[in-house]
Structures are given as structure tokens and as C-alpha cells.
A and B are shown apart, each in its own frame.
Chain A
Amino acid sequence: MSRFFERYEADAVRFFDEVISKEGIPRPHYNKLLHRFGQFSIDDIKARREIVNIFFRNQGITFTVYGEDEGVERIFPFDLIPRVVPAHEWQTIEKGLVQRIKALNEFLYDIYHTQKILKDKIIPPELILGSQHFRREFVGVNPPLGIYIHITGSDIIRDGAGNYLVLEDNLRTPSGVSYMLQNRQAMKRAFPVLFDKYKIRPIENYPQELLRTLQEISPDSRREPNVVVLTPGIYNSAYFEHSFLARQMGVELTEGKDLVVNDNKVYTRTTRGLERVDVIYRRVDDAFLDPLVFRPDSKLGVAGLVNAYRKGNVTLANAIGTGVADDKVIYSFVPAIIKYYLGEDPILQNVPTWLASNPSDLKYILENLGSLVVKAANESGGYGMLVGPESTIEQQETFAEMIVANPRNYIAQPTISLSRHPSFFNDTDLWGCHIDLRPYVLYGKTVTIVPGGLTRVALKRGSLVVNSSQGGGSKDTWVVDE
């Protein structure tokens, strides 16, 4: 075994370690990787680290951290050790995700049409109708092919036994897919030899698949669809990704001010006049899309866009109002949703969840704040979250007050010790860092998932938070055929 791995302490008893089994031996799908890394000296690693850094810097792969004055941009931290997912495990994930996304889409269609699931009392109506992401004005609107969630990125974790669990369904505008693609490029530059040794499933076709999906949902099949990406602009933390995807697909990247609505049709403003738009892959939240309908102070959106959408003259991906299904409270009902619409048992399980809106759950949550993870139902990116075991008494008291004041807005989950994966803290030592996995699911005429996804890694020692906004990094993810 490599000298890096000789010094690596997996702690495989307390945590599920992706590389080292409970018996202390490497899992078979990591053997070749360990062997190769065994031949590297510290200087080799440093040299490769330099290649990767230059690659990321030259590509301008950066993200923005809010609430910090120092430099606007940072390079997204990248770990050199790839994560390996054997094909049979991937197959389960893939099947589970297809099932889950289809059920969630049926749920959205139902919620925005007959609301059968509410009438059948599977979900308490007040949870839906009172959700801030429920868009009552879209009841009865028919998106092309009946699809609401064209691009999603579910967060998947592994528990202590190594089971894959869904932690969150990100049904609005999940980000990170550009890192998935760039991580692969970086690995190919730094470790070309490794790619000879494994049969790694390619992911490079993601942009083409994305474009195909977007073209399939065009409202007008009679002509070549004009697809654009809508970004909030260069100051958005995911701007790099928006421009990257537009470039890879060969479509225009637009800001709100590039679009204009005339007679309920959407156009881009070009040097040659106005050009009709059919599909908008929008990376702008619902609330900012149209100042006439949502936030009147929004400068990111397009006046009249929502009406054009309601008239069926333009398709938005994802549809408006999908947030109602990735609310953390609704999350706890997803197994029931799958059962209700598909008549199947969920292939991928949820993390156990207590709802503060449920009186007996509330009592349990308040009594166990020190051991639970409490999340605000509508926040994302690791904001508005209490990690019980890492919190102070004062923080717990603050959260208790907030929960009691607004129980609908909070859920709690057990502190799951996410699986760990050896990662370089510096270029000399490996540490077990907690990881998750975000595969990207495309839903047009069919459901497509490129193998793997983005593995996020909590590079702060012991930290469980993998979000890039909270100091997380990422690694390349390989689905390998044995």
C-alpha cells in the first residue's frame, strides 16, 4: 500500500470509510488507485497539485462567498483523490433516482392540477397550500410533456452501514454540474495514467444531453428551438457555471436585460434586432423572474415573462413552482409520494425526519437539540442550520425559540455521520473527510443521468458541511465497470 495510505487512519469503526473496510483492508475497487498512489512521492503530488491549480485558475473556475469582504472570487477547493463508485452500486442509485424524480414530477403535476393527493389525505393540505413555494397562479398551467423538473441534483449520502440515502431533492436550480465536468478534465491532465487502468464511464456528454432535454421541451416543435440560459449576472456565485454550460451547449447566455417580452412572446435583443426565444434554462429563482408578478424590485428578471410562459409561448426549465416539492417538510413525504403515484417501494431511502409542525415530533426535537441536525425548511446552501453536537447551549436556545415561533419552517434529522473518504489536507497527509454525492438528473422525453455526479467533501477537519459556501471542496467521481 502507498506510503500516503500507510499513514492514513480510517477510523472505519466509527464511520463508513469509502476506501478502507471495517476489517482495515482496502475495498477491491480501490486497489489499482492505491497501488498507483503508492508510487507517488510527496513531490509528485505537489507537482500534480500545481497542474490542477493552474488549470482551475486559467479556466476562471471560481465561486463567490457571501458575507465576506475579501476578494470576491475563490478557487473551488479540489481534492486529488478520486471517489470510485462500482457499477453495481451506481445501478441502484440510478434506478432509485429515476423512480424518485418520476414520482416527484407526478406529484407536482397533481398539485398544480386536481390535487388528488391532498384530497386523499396523504399529505395535509396546509403543508402545500401554506408553502411559500406554492404558486397558486400556476394551477392549471400545462408545461410541455407535463414535465416540471427538467434538471435536478439530488444530494445523496451514505450512513454508517454504507446505505445510500437521499438527503435533499434539489428541484429548483441545483448548481455544481460544471465542477463535475471540470474535475474530470483536471484529473485527466494531472493523472493521465490512471485513466488507462480503470474503465471509467464518461460524463463529457452532459452538455449535449442537457441541450437535447431543453430542445425536447420546446413549446413549438415546428421549428428549430432557440434555447437560452438565463443568469442573474456575473456577480452571482454560480456565474461561472452558467456561462460554462451556455458555452458547452453553444447557446446564448442571457441576462434579464437581454430579453424582452412583446405580445406574450419572448425575444433576445441582438445587434440585428429581436430574435424569438423558445426555451429558457433559467438559473434565476422564481421570485426574481418577473417584476410584474413576483418581486417588483427585481432587476434580474424580464417584465411579462410569466404571462408568456402561462400562454405556452416559452418553456422555463425548471418550471415555476417546483420549490413546493423540495421543501424539507415535503421531503419527509417522498416515500409516501412514490408509493401513492407509482405503487412501488422506494429504492433509495430517506434520512429519518421529524417535523416540528407535528406536536409529538416537536417535543422530541426540543428535547434532543444537542444530538439532532435542525434545518429551516426553505433554506439551502447550509444556511439556517443547527448541527446539534457542534453547537453551543446559546445556539440551541436561539433555535428552540425560532422553532416554537414557526414550527412549519423546521425539521430535524439525526446527525448522520456521512461516509468518509481519504482526502489530502495538504499535499503530505490524508485525512478521512466527510463526503456526499450530487448526481444530475435530466428529464425530457426520457430520464437521463450521467454516471457519477459531484462528490462534495468537507475539507474542514471533522466538519459535516460540504457546501461550497461553507468551506467545502470536491473530488472527481468515477463510476467504474468492474
Chain B
Amino acid sequence: MLSRVAESLFWMSRYFERAENTARFLDVNFNLLLDLNKITPIENPNYWIALILVTSDKVRFNNQYNEYTARSVTDYLVFNKDNPNSIISCIGLARENARSIIESISSEMWEQVNNLYHYLQNITPQYVHNDPYSFYKEIKNASHLFQGITDNTFSHNEGWDFIQIAKYLERSDNIARLIDVKYHMLLSEAQSQPEIVEGSEDIIQWMAVLKSCSALEAFRKVYLSKIDPDNILRFLILDRTFPRSINFSVCAAEDALWRISGSSRHRYVNNADRLIGKMEAELSYTAIEDIYAKGLHVYLEDLEQRLVKVGEQVHLTYFAYHTPEIESSDIAEALPFTGIAGGRPNWSQAQQHQQQQ
């Protein structure tokens, strides 16, 4: 297929997944604060800072807002058009990519992207404030519907595989960020208020992490009621069967990449295959103790960087308009990303658009 089409399928899928994850983060935070009885009148800014840290654009946020409140953070993550990762920006970019390949995707897929786009144009901050639950559910359902439509109306060939790669790379990255930030926050709270380390508030927060990955019920089936950080990390990072765990997502991205190139377990064809294969192998043979030995934060950060590298190699192998020599390192200069916003890969199209009548 055309490289440009493959690239647009990739970013369409990636931005849709990103929007869904942001909706999940926000949704769970509201629920968490309700559980902890902290939503008003005195909102605890720590809980809202966390969301900005997950999406890691603290600087951009601080340029525009003075305080971390439900309203400011919601506005920034849902509506702010200057934030390339806000839900409205993500869906706008997903739609723009879809629009540029409208002849390649099924018309049902286009209708779904377009519907969500128009739905968002009519949503006010007040609406989200009054009924956050319904709003985030709408976003999550729209994303699930899109994936279902894609699975059932779009041929499962190369293009579909690019959609899967994008979705699972984005998802692994989001889970890693979420764990990292929550862990960080809980740790710092534990240090400042040592008396609640073992308290129920802690458990509620970890449950929130699970919930934002729709993982609470699945987790319980595996670990019964034993909610402790070790098991939660084991589940979200290493579980091979739960679709919102990192290991599962990396495996799924690997499958899709290998289907495209024809790589197999003992033989890789390009660097994208090599890097994803290495990640998958390591995840499969890692125990939670290994992660602790390395330090959770260091481990997750390393994971995020390796996901970025896989994305770069996918770009060079399939989208870049020249055939790259296979080289293992030092590719940063060749990257097309005009800026990695908040450390997250973003789509950029060549800036020139000549108008012609």
C-alpha cells in the first residue's frame, strides 16, 4: 500500500487510542475523588497534577493555567486546542488523517470518526462538569465502536496491521505513564504522611489505577481480593492475556509487525521487528523482582523510550519516502517529528499546502 496511506492509518489509530486513554484517566480521577470525598469544596491539587504528569506537558499547562483544579485540568485535557494531546485535538487529528485516506478506510469507519468529531464540537465544558461520567463513557464507547467497526468492515491485511501497531504502541505507552505517575505520587504521599501507608486510601488509589485500565474485574479473577501493589504491577505490566497490560500490547504490536514483514521468532527482517521482538522476549521473562531491582521508575522510563524507538523504526521502514539503510542507532536526526510534544510522538504533515482552484 502507499506509504502515505499506511502512515495516516497509523496516526488515525494512534490518536483515537490516545483520546480514549485520556478519557479514562479523567474519568477515574473523578470517581476517585468522589470515593475519597475530596472533590469539593477544597480540591486536592495533587490528584489533578497527576493527570498533567501522565500526559507530561506540565510546562505547557503552566503557561496557560494558574492552578490544578478539576476545571482547569479538564479544560486542558479535553478542550484545549493548543494542547496537541487534548481529546479534542486527538480526535481532530484522527479525523484529519482519516480524511486524507477516506478512500482507503471503510465508509463506516469514516462515519464513526466524523460522528465523534461533530459530537465533540457541540460539547461545552459545563456539560462535562455536570456529568463527567456520561461524557467519558461516550468517548470510551466511541473508541470501542471504532475498533469494532474497523475489525468488522476493514480487510485484515497490511493496513489493518498498521492500525494495530499504532493502537498497541500507544496503549503500552499510556499504561506505563499511568503506573509511573501513580507510583510516584503514592510514594511521595507515603513519605510525607507515613501513617497512611497501609491505609485504605492507598488501596482505593491502586484500585483507581486498575479501573482506568478497565482492569479491576479481570484483576480480581486472577488475584482474588488481594489488592497490593506487587500484584497490580504484575498484572498491568506482565500479564499476557489482559488486553490493557503492557505485555499483551507489546505482543499484539509484535504480531502485527511480523505479519507485515514476514519476520518470525528466530529471524527479523528490519529494525522495528528486532526492537519489538527484544521487548517482547524481555517482558516474557521478567519477574516483578527484576523490575524492583532496576527501580520501577527507571524501568518504566526505559520502556517508554524503547516504545518511541519502535515507532521511529516503523516510520523509517515503512513511511519514510526513501529506503533507509538498516542501522541500529543514531537515527534521531532523520526523524520527521517536528517536535515531540511532552515526550509523546506526534504526527506532522509537511507544512506546505498550496491552494489550487
Contacts and interface: CB of A to CB of B under 8 A. Distances in A.
A56 to B, nearest CB: 11
A235 interface: yes
Given A57-B114, A57-B118, A285-B356, A269 B1 contact: no
Contacts of A57: 114, 118
Contacts of B158: 271
Interface stretch (B99-107, B140-148, B236-244): B99-107
A298 B104 CA distance: 26
Interface string B316-352: 0011010100000000000000000000000000101
A380 B356 CA distance: 12
B355 interface: yes
Contacts of A268: 2
Interface string A363-397: 00000000000000000110100000000000000
Contacts of B103: 243-244, 246-247, 253
Pick from A268, A271, A285, A300 the residue with the most CB of B within 10 Å. A271
Pick from B104, B111, B357 the residue with the most CB of A within 10 Å. B357
A15 B106 CA distance: 45
- Contact residues on B (Cβ < 8 Å of other chain), bracket: 20 to 34
B260 A235 contact: no
A17 interface: no
B267 interface: no
A152 to B, nearest CB: 18
Contacts of B6: 271
A287 B77 CA distance: 44
Contact of B96 (A234, A246, A269): A234
A288 B356 contact: yes
- Contact residues on A (Cβ < 8 Å of other chain), bracket: 35 or more
A300 B356 contact: yes
Contact of A270 (B2, B107, B356): B2
B1 A270 contact: yes
Nearest to B96: A234
Pick from B3, B100, B103, B104 the residue with the most CB of A within 10 Å. B103
Interface string B1-27: 111111000000000000000000000
Nearest to A246: B103
Interface stretch (A34-42, A133-141, A254-262, A341-349): A254-262
Contact of B353 (A66, A233, A284): A233
Contacts of A115: none
Contacts of B102: 60, 240, 243-244, 247
Contact of B3 (A236, A253, A258): A258
A236 to B, nearest CB: 6
B321 A66 contact: no
A413 interface: no
Contacts of A232: 354, 356
A273 interface: yes
Contact of B4 (A59, A258, A297, A300): A258
A233 B318 CA distance: 21
Interface string B81-108: 0000000000000001001111110010
Contacts of A29: none
Nearest to B111: A58
A66 B354 CA distance: 12
Contacts of A253: 101, 103-104
Interface in A207-244: 232-237, 239-240, 243-244
Contacts of B1: 270-271
B155 interface: no
A235 B2 contact: no
Contacts of B110: 59-60
Pick from B3, B102, B353 the residue with the most CB of A within 10 Å. B102
Contact of B357 (A59, A66, A299): A66
Contact of B356 (A258, A260, A284, A383): A284
Nearest to B352: A299
B356 A236 contact: yes
A232 B357 CA distance: 10
Interface in A248-278: 252-255, 257-258, 260, 268-271, 273
Contacts of A297: 354
A257 B321 contact: yes
A247 B5 CA distance: 13
B134 interface: no
Nearest to B322: A269
A253 B103 CA distance: 7
Contacts of B353: 233, 235
Interface in A275-328: 284-285, 288, 297-300
Contacts of B96: 234
Contacts of A255: 4
B129 to A, nearest CB: 26
B153 interface: no
A175 B102 CA distance: 18
Contacts of A285: 356
B114 A271 contact: no
A244 B104 CA distance: 10
Given A271-B260, A273-B323, A59 B107 contact: yes
Contacts of B118: 57
Nearest to B356: A232
A258 B354 contact: no
Contacts of B62: none
A60 to B, nearest CB: 6
B114 A300 contact: no
B355 to A, nearest CB: 6
Interface string B103-132: 110010011001100100000000000000
A246 B321 CA distance: 22
A236 B323 CA distance: 29
A18 to B, nearest CB: 30
Nearest to B110: A60
A288 B352 CA distance: 14
Interface in A332-365: none
Nearest to B353: A235
Nearest to B317: A271
Given A247-B102, A257-B350, A269 B2 contact: yes
A255 B349 CA distance: 13
Contacts of B99: 60, 234, 239
Contacts of B5: 252
Contacts of A59: 107, 110-111
A254 B260 CA distance: 22
Contacts of B323: 273
A383 B104 CA distance: 34
Contacts of B260: 271
Nearest to B99: A234
A381 B356 CA distance: 12
Pick from A234, A284, A297, A381 the residue with the most CB of B within 10 Å. A234
A273 B3 CA distance: 9
A57 B111 CA distance: 9
15 contacts: A57-B114, A58-B111, A59-B111, A60-B114, A232-B356, A236-B355, A236-B356, A243-B101, A246-B103, A247-B104, A252-B2, A252-B5, A257-B4, A258-B2, A299-B352
Given A234-B99, A273-B323, 19 more contacts: A58-B111, A58-B114, A58-B115, A66-B357, A232-B354, A234-B96, A235-B355, A237-B357, A240-B102, A243-B101, A244-B102, A252-B2, A253-B104, A268-B2, A269-B4, A270-B2, A271-B318, A297-B354, A300-B356
